[in-house]
Structure 1
Amino acid sequence: MTDLAASDFARLAAVHPDPAFPRFHPRPARGWINDPNGISHINGRYHVFFQYNPESARHHRIQWGHVSSADLLRWEEHPVALKPQDGGPDEFGCWTGVVTDDGGVPTAAYSGVKGDGGHSQVVLARGSADLVSWEQDGHVAASMPTDPLVTAVRDPFLFRFNGKRYAMQGAGLATGQAALLLYTVEDMSDWKYQGIWLSSDNPVAAAHTPAEIWECPQLVQVPDSAGGDSWLMMFSLWLSGDAHEHANGVGHLIGSLCEDPATGLPVFEPRSGGKSDLGRDFYAPQIVQLESSSGAEPSSLLWGWANEGPGRDGRRGRSQEEIDAAGWSGVLTFPRVLSVVDDAVAVAPAPEIDAYRGAALATGASRTVSLPAFAEAVVSGGQGVSGGQGEVSLVLSSGSEEAGSDAPGAERQVVFRGELGAGLRIFVDASLVEVYRNGSVATTLRAYPAAGEEWRLELPAGASADVWQLEQPAG
């Protein structure tokens, strides 16, 4: 096992010379990763599993990788947790799913696919108390529904309501609409299908979460600025032909959950919704509902997947040949705290991430500010920026600041451009950029500095930035 975020983390970068490799978002040194899976907080330790192909930087015969941490800063890499079983219901891959405590036994419920193009089934695996060792016996808890309207199903998620345990899966319908399927789960080994729970023909869902399949469905309670909790439903919005491009990204619905007096089953009523991230490089997030003893602690945390890409919105990307040569693909975001403010989702990095803030590089800087390859910048408005407005740009530039970005031979790539608003908090970790807005959702982007390029922050008149080097905390 490898401590990915120990004080010798630079050693990992040294054995992996790709300058685009992140240092503060733990992942194996090589191989493909995508969706975060099975996120859980057990015995004071966070466990993050993820879809993983250790053999190459391509999406193939997916397994479950595994890292864990006591503090969200220092991560330990564990052996692969789940592997496709020859002849089993997951022979073609162990896809998205969750980990739950089933009578004291850690239990993974995931989409198992037997063959290329085949339907997924909910497959169970049982884990050791520390979640490091897993037994896979191929037990299927739920198969493809016989309902002819349901043409695709995937990605189980478990939740509790009024003391009862339920599950849902994302689905696609013969009508071309996306849907959620509902299950009662009195016994983890035998899920009872209750039918189509919600679909994109709901007018609120149609407006905010359009898709052909709702992938990676999530349902959690998060704090509301009104003083209570709101139910937050989140989907990855799959379209045919996406091929890891995910043009519709991730969306969410905010609403209420009540019990149907006739059936006793939960009913979700959405009242608002929106995009869960404004970047094109964010998909398949998973949320863990935390058992919090203090109102000051997060009630849930979200991780998302930021994939490599061929370049979007004018940004330089990586070709498949370049990805193959680098030997790795995919990054998970920082853990994010969710809340609802005025019926809209607000996202912030987990407070533990503050500990990555190292040496101060600039205070109150204006105009154009150079950033290192691993940096945090907080941008705020001052006098002259009416109401905190003004456009902020994060660019990669090969021209010197003195000569200007329009000097002969200089190149300039705009990675992010957005309104300052109430303030921005920007993290750069080699090729991963996360931009957080006060009271709103984040923007997740990938960009790849070329030789001779540096990161620069371009500020509007009256705005200023404080900049820190990202560093691993001591201890």
Structure 2
Amino acid sequence: MNSSASPTVAVDRAFPTLHPRPQQGWLNDPNGICYRDGRWHVFFQHNPDSARHAAITWGHVSSPDLLRWEEEPVALRPQPGGPDALGCWSGVMADENGVPTAVYSGVQDASGHAQVTLARGSADLRTWQQDGEVAAGIPADQSITDVRDPFVFRWNGARYAIQGAGLEDGRGALLLYDATELSAWTYLGIWLTTEHPAAAAAQANIWECPQLVEVDGRWVLIVSLWKRRNGEHHLSGVAHLIGSMHDDGDGRPVYEPETCAATDGGPDYYAPQAVPVGDRVMLWGWSWESRAEEEADAAGWAGVLTFPRELGVVDGELVVKPARELVGYRRSARVAGAVTELPAVAEAVVSPRGDARVSLALVSPSGSRELYSVETARGVRVLLDASIVEVYREGSTAVTFRAYPVQDEKWELTVTGSAVVEAWELGLP
């Protein structure tokens, strides 16, 4: 999706070459991810006219192979007078009798209150009908102060949905719905809160963008952590709970979490969306800019989708790997050793033969900025793309962060201890 003819790319070394995103505008939460007719589709919150979050539409990119991404027409737009008049926010894709249906948070006004809104798409997902159809409003329960980000799932042959929520007493929560009728949900109550003993690593005032997927026989719940501090809100990372589902005696699902941990160890990662496709569960996230807003304004863009990831559960812990297709980006191999200079778009794989320390830094004749380090006896895989860095740790989760090389700075990977290091420059097939 990069183009040397684009003025943004010509002047901004931070613009990613391989990560999917439009050439211009604001991007945040991935939405509506699906695989249809041999093509991957990823939607996302998008403001095509500014590098700021406003007048949110659903942007859309698609790919036949998870390597080459095509920017599609904007899918959903705010409808004047409709339930999404202020913006089409996060949600998922459902299939209703063969019709692709976007299920999303429609925000009508500055209050920020969201309603579950539906839009119907064409078979190729390029044209959409938005009729202001509302599947669920805000529950009447006065203890619920915030509701958003619907997620639809199936359990025991029935269709249910959850939404992220915040409660008056400061707890984050999930709300459960019967979504048998996609256009008319039945509210079933508060399903889970941050008060659960297993949710210690997922404390927040609002659980945003909940994702509930079965991975290797376990149910994994992923939540993004919205926290209120000193009268301001902070997006505070992503956590996952691993547990099981059982029947409440009346045929409804009960989720029983057992463990909880951070889903990504980096500072610049939020709002991932998970989708089962075949024998895999895939995950995309949003990585925001860590530079000043004024710099993003000048560049004309902000936010990037991560590379697609695959989820697994091994020995009761979540394991995150880059999608297997990404090896298709490998081009020329680099000479690698204890100290390896990496180009701006590159991959490095470190395979320790015992304990090793892996460090990634930006270096120049005037000094060095270490941006990541880990001591490990397990493999480490680093993917660089201009200003986004994704580090995958064998048998564990990922670390996502942003960094902006300046002037004569270059990437340098340093490995101490016994290890085999491989490196490649990356590019489009």
- Equivalent residues of 2:357, 2:417 under 8 A apart: no
Q: Does 1:159 align with 2:139?
A: no
Decide which of 131, 136, 141 is 2:135's aligned counterpart: 141
From 307, 320, 343, the equivalent of 1:372 is 343
Give 1:435's aligned residue: 391
Q: Equivalences for 1:80-91 in 2 at 5 Å?
A: 80-91=74-85
Q: Judge conservation of contact 1:426–1:433 (CA < 8 Å) in 2.
A: yes
Cα distance in 1 for residues equivalent to 2:73 and 2:186: 33
**Could you tell me which residue of structure 2 aligns to residue 358 of structure 1?**
331
Conserved in 2, the CA contact under 8 Å of 1:13 and 1:23?
A: no
Amino acid at match of 1:59: H
Give 1:302's match in structure 2, choosing from 280, 283, 288: 283
Paired residue for 1:285, among 272, 295, 299? Answer: 272
- Residue number in structure 2 paired with 1:32: 26
Cα shift at 1:421: 2.8
**What fraction of aligned residue pairs are identical, expressed as a percent?**
54
Aligned partner letter, 1:391: R
CA gap of 1:25–1:15, structure 2 versus 1, over 3 A, is closer
Q: Which residue of 2 is the match for residue 397 of structure 1?
A: 363
CA deviation after TM superposition for structure 1 residue 355, in Å:
0.3
Residues in 2 aligned to 1:93 and 1:181: alpha-carbon distance in whole angstroms: 22
User: After superposition, what is the alpha-carbon deviation per residue over 1:58-92, rounded to whole angstroms, capped at 9, x for unaligned?
Assistant: 11111100011111111111110000111111111
Query: Which of the numbers 253, 256, 260 marks the counterpart of 1:273?
Result: 260
* Kept in 1: contact 2:23–2:301 (CA 8 A): yes
| TM-aligned CA deviation for residue 244 of structure 1 | 8.3
> What SS does the aligned partner of 2:298 have?
helix
Amino acid at match of 1:221: E
- Determine the C-alpha separation between the residues in 2 that align with 1:77 and 1:175: 43
2:149 equivalent to 1:178: no
Q: Which runs of no fewer than 5 residues in structure 2 stay unpaired?
A: none
State the one-letter code of the partner of 1:300: V
Pairing of 1:378-389 with structure 2 (within 5 A): 378-382=349-353, 388-389=354-355
Counterpart CA distance in 2 for 1:244 and 1:195 is 25
Q: What TM-score, normalized by structure 1, do the two folds share?
A: 0.88
CA distance in 2, matches of 1:209, 1:134: 36
- Contact 2:228–2:234 at 8 Å: present in 1 too? no
Name the aligned partner's letter for residue 455 of structure 1: W
Partner SS state of residue 352, structure 1: helix
Partner Cα distance (1:243, 1:81) in 2 = 32
1:213-252 to 2 correspondence within 5 Å?
213-223=206-216, 229-240=217-228, 246-247=235-236, 249-252=237-240
Deviation per CA, 1:139-194: give whole Å up to 9, x if none: 11100000011110000000000100000000001111010000001111100000
1:296-339 CA distances to partner (integer Å, 9 max, x unpaired)?
xx421000000001xxxxxxxx2111111111100111110000
Q: Is the 8 A contact 1:379 1:420 kept in 2?
A: no
SS at match of 1:136: strand
Give the match's secondary structure for 2:26.
Answer: strand
Indicate how the Cα distance of structure 1 residues 458 and 416 shifts in structure 2: closer, same or farther if over 3 A, else same: same
Q: Distance in 1 between matches of 2:332 and 2:5?
A: 20
Aligned mates of 1:328, 1:436 — CA distance in 2 = 26
Distance 1:334 1:243 in 2: 30
Q: Aligned partner of 1:330: which letter?
A: G
Contact 1:215 1:238 in 2 (8 A): yes
Q: Does 1:202 align with 2:196?
A: yes
Provide the C-alpha distance between the structure 2 equivalents of 1:103 and 1:465, rounded to a whole number of angstroms.
50
State how many pairs are aligned: 428
Unmatched runs of 5 consecutive residues or more in structure 1: 224-228, 293-297, 310-317, 383-387, 400-409
TM-score under structure 2 length normalisation: 0.97
Asked whether the 8 Å contact 2:227–2:233 carries over to 1, the reply is no
Q: Tell me the secondary structure at the aligned position of residue 260 of structure 2.
A: strand
Structure 1 residue 330 corresponds to structure 2 residue 321: no
1:258 is matched with 246
Separation in 1, partners of 2:247, 2:35: 28
Q: Secondary structure at the match of 2:198?
A: helix
1:447 aligns with 2:420: no
Distance 1:332 1:245, change over 3 A: farther
| Superposed displacement of residue 243, structure 1 | 7.3
CA distance in 1, matches of 2:147, 2:355: 44
Report Cα offsets for 1:114-134 as digits up to 9, x if no partner: 111231000100000011100
| Residue 111 of structure 1, aligned match among 105, 128, 148 | 105
Structure 1 residue 250: Cα displacement: 0.2
Report how far residue 10 of structure 1 moved: 4.4
> Could you tell me how far apart the structure 1 residues matched to 2:292 and 2:391 are?
25
State how far apart, in whole Å, the 2-side matches of 1:10 and 1:142 are.
45
| 1:464 Cα deviation after fit | 3.6
Q: Once superposed, what is the RMSD of the aligned Cα atoms?
A: 1.5
CA contact 2:309–2:321 (8 Å) conserved in 1? yes
2:57 paired residue number: 63
Q: 1:83 to 1:161 in 2, by over 3 A?
A: same
Task: Name the CA distance, whole Å, in 1 between partners of 2:421 and 2:160.
Answer: 47
Match of 1:97 among 86, 91, 100: 91
2:32–2:102: 8 Å Cα contact kept in structure 1?
A: yes
The one-letter code sitting in structure 2 at the alignment partner of 1:305 is W
Q: Going by fraction, where is strand more abundant, 1 or 2? A: 2
